[in-house]
Amino acid sequence: MDPRYGLLPHQAYWLANFLYDDPALVKQASKVVARLYDAFVDSGASMTEINP
């Protein structure tokens, strides 16, 4: 990912596709990844995580 352009939709999809085989889960996970990245950038954080 290039910080100049941010997380592009196809990059979020690629990451989600690496994690899941089910297309429905890939679609949901790519949205979660994109929102997590947006929260990371908007808050100026140095790290974000999802706890179980």
Tell me if 14 is assigned to some domain: yes
Amino acid, single-letter form, for residue 37: Y
Tell me if 4 is assigned to some domain: no
Domain count, the chain: 1
**Rg (the chain; Cα; Å):** 11
- Give the residue among 51, 39, 47 at the shortest CA–CA distance from 6: 39
Tell me if 31 is assigned to some domain: yes
Q: What domain range includes position 33?
A: 9-41
pTM of the model: 0.82
DSSP per residue over 17-36, as a string? Answer: HHH-SSHHHHHHHHHHHHHH
- pLDDT band at residue 1 under the 50/70/90 scheme: confident
Q: Which residue has the tokens 């290039």?
A: 2
- pLDDT band at residue 52 under the 50/70/90 scheme: confident
Query: Residue 19, SS3?
Result: helix
**Residue-wise pLDDT tens digits, 7-27:** 999 999 999 999 999 999 999
